[in-house]
Amino acid sequence: MLGTFIFALVAVSLAAYRLDRLSYENFLQNTRTDTFLDLVEVRQEFYAVHHDHSLSLREMATFIAENPNLSQEEFADKAEQIRGGDDFIISIGGAPDLQLTMIYPLDGNEGALGLDYRANPEQLPAIQRMIENRGELVTGPVNLMQGGRGLILRLPVFLAEDDNSLWGVVSIVLDFEEFLVRSGFADAERTYDLMIEVVDKASGSKNEIVYGDPTLREKDAVSISLGFEFEDWLVHATTKDGWPNVSPTQWKERALIALITIAAMFLVAYVLWLSETRKRAELLLQNGIEALPDGFVIFDKQDRLIIHNSRYQELYEFPDEALKPGATFGEYVYSSSKGPQLLMSDADQAEWLENRANSRKTGVSLDVEQHLQDGRVIKASDRRMEDGSYVGIRVDVTELTLARETAEAANKAKTDFMGVLSHELRTPLTVILGVSRLAKNARLLGASKTLLSKIDSGDLSPDETEKLLDDVYSQFEKMMDKMIQSGEHLLHLINEMLDVAKIESGSLTIEPKVSNIADITSPVVEQLSSLARQKGLQFEVTQDAGTVFADVVRTRQILFNLVGNAIKFTDKGFVRLVVKVESKTVVFEVCDSGAGIPETELLSIFENFYQVDSTETRRVGGTGMGLTISRNLTKMQGGKLTVKSTIGKGSCFVLTLPSSATA
């Protein structure tokens, strides 16, 4: 910023200096033009004064040409007539045969009488040239013998009757100082420094400075030429003491330029400050949007990219070269062959693009969930701003979506479980209530009725009474068996629920110790073999003798569940329990020839309340808690519980437990 300011300062100062120079040059040019115009005026007057006296000279010459033998008196008369009383004409002379013998007025000019041009080598060539050319010769200024300076006009005189016969020369001597006054030269000299340089046309000899300051030559003076027949006068002029170094208005102009310069610098400083502020604001905005955890993007009215953060690029894996500010959405989405992580299916993608185009057309907000090819879910929200541009936020909601789906699944499982549980609880309760009601009306039972009617008839022998009472008892026994079974089932359900609650709260404790395998398996085999028999299943048990490092009650509970499930889900064939003692582990294998479990469900069945959704499951009942409890109990004992199953062929659950504490 400081660098730019200094640069601007130098540039503006240079411009100001240049402006100052231009203004001065302009002033100087105007001054020179004015000077030249004044010189033109002087030249006009100069010519006019010269012309007047040139005419007088010619009048004199004509008079002599016509009167070549004129006497001194006649000459003086004519000269007096021409001169009048004007002192400007110092003298009028006549030089027959190039010797000055006539002069008027004689007074004061006697010194010139007798001057012989032929004997004057300085003047002779010019005189001869004048005669040859029959022109007027202007000489001067010359120092006059009688004092002062004079300007001499000379003309050759040829006889009127013989044009080739030279009479001589007439001359008029003008007072040079007065000549300067009358031609306005003196007036001009009040304003200008002047110099007159005489250039001899014929000889081209070195110019002679006849008047004024010779240093004017070096002062780049303005010049004007005054042409006579045989010579030119070059008049040079500058203003007094040379050209002015400053114009009279220079200081005003300089003050104005300085003011403009200062104003320009203020403007530059203001613009720099604005641009710096803008840069800072942009940086702040860029840093701000960069710090956002979500993708951020702004498009202008024409749907061209204005700004985005790197999270936006990451989310869609846009290549670097694609996201150039100014690129339209269409351009950068399809700009690279690798392409961004667009939507999952072509249809999805087309739908998104259409929604987007619609939102741009109608100005409505856009809220869409995009499913990317790698499975991520992005929530895209675009909002239209007042100026027609769009601001977009892209949030990766993959985890949220998963969590939501999991929560929904868990919720559904719980709802399902409540349905299943209420069914499972109601069934045994209904049995218990039903049996209790029957027991309450014991007299109405078939066996009771028979006994009572026999008693009423009075012909009942003691043996018969005993038999009928046995019937009544056995009917009660059956009823009580049902009640007990239902009660136990209820107890089992409640225990399972308690176990699940304990597992979830982490309060379930387990006490593994080295135990006899048979102690664990025997009650299971005893209790469940009758159940298997009832279903007509073959219950095969093969077991190595030995010990296992386990909690007897809890391991038994696992086996009850596995074997119980095997019997429950098998209609024909076998249920097999094999216990193998291996080097460091004991393996309990529970296989059956039942319906089997679909492969997709093999993991889910270990989840709480999960049941394979089939009519078979519904028919045989259950709550989906057993395997969850079993796997948790297994884990707590340092073992593992796995399953293999083939649909239609059967399932095999394998429980592996350590054989000793160190295993």
Residue closer to ligand ADP, measured from CB, 235 or 595: 595
User: How far is CA 552 from its chain centroid?
Assistant: 72
Answer for the pair 121, 138: CB distance below 8 angstroms, yes or no.
Answer: no
HEC letters along 314-376: HHHCCCHHHCCCCCEHHHHHCCCCCCCCCECCHHHHHHHHHHHHHHHHHCCCEEEEEEECCCC
Among 566, 577, 579, 657, binds ligand ADP (CB under 6 A): 566
Instruction: Return the range that interacts with ligand ADP (CB under 6 A); candidates 19-27, 28-36, 505-513, 587-595.
Output: 587-595
Minimum gap (Å) between residue 656 Cβ and ligand ADP: 17
Contacts with ligand ADP, 525-564, as mask; x by CB under 6 A: ------------------------------------x---
Listing DSSP states for 55-101 in one string gives HHHHHHHHHHHH-TT--HHHHHHHHHHHHTT-TTEEEEEEEETTB--
Q: Is 597 in the site for ligand ADP (CB under 6 A)?
A: yes
Q: Is 595 in the site for ligand ADP (CB under 6 A)?
A: yes
Strand spans (E) along 83-230: 89-96, 102-104, 137-143, 149-158, 166-175, 192-200, 208-212, 222-227
Tokens of 330: 């269409």
Token look-up 């002069």 returns 103
Say how many C-beta atoms besides its own lie within 10 A of residue 316's C-beta.
20
Please state, in angstroms and rounded to a whole number, the distance separating the CA atoms of residues 205 and 232: 12
Eight-class DSSP state of 136: -
Q: Is 626 in the site for ligand ADP (CB under 6 A)?
A: yes
Among 168, 428, 622, 639, binds ligand ADP (CB under 6 A): 622
Q: Is 428 in the site for ligand ADP (CB under 6 A)?
A: no
Among 238, 651, 656, 659, binds ligand ADP (CB under 6 A): 651
Eight-class DSSP state of 117: S
Q: Is 605 in the site for ligand ADP (CB under 6 A)?
A: yes
Residue 131 burial (C-beta neighbours within 10 Å; 0-12, 13-18, 19+): buried
Among 54, 56, 623, 632, binds ligand ADP (CB under 6 A): 623
Among 168, 212, 392, 624, binds ligand ADP (CB under 6 A): 624
Instruction: Return the range that interacts with ligand ADP (CB under 6 A); candidates 153-161, 229-237, 486-494, 624-632.
Output: 624-632
Residue closer to ligand ADP, measured from CB, 528 or 625: 625
User: How far is CA 250 from its chain centroid?
Assistant: 48
308 pairs with which residues across the strands? 297
- Interaxial angle between packed helices 462-505 and 398-440, expressed in degrees from 0 to 180 and rounded to the nearest 10: 160
Q: Is 565 in the site for ligand ADP (CB under 6 A)?
A: yes
Instruction: Return the range that interacts with ligand ADP (CB under 6 A); candidates 21-29, 181-189, 430-438, 590-598.
Output: 590-598
Residue 647 amino acid letter: I
Among 344, 353, 377, 612, binds ligand ADP (CB under 6 A): 612
Minimum gap (Å) between residue 419 Cβ and ligand ADP: 13
Residue closer to ligand ADP, measured from CB, 333 or 493: 493
Among 150, 212, 392, 594, binds ligand ADP (CB under 6 A): 594
Residues that bind ligand ADP (CB under 6 A): 561, 565-566, 569, 592, 594-595, 597, 605, 611-612, 617, 622-628, 651
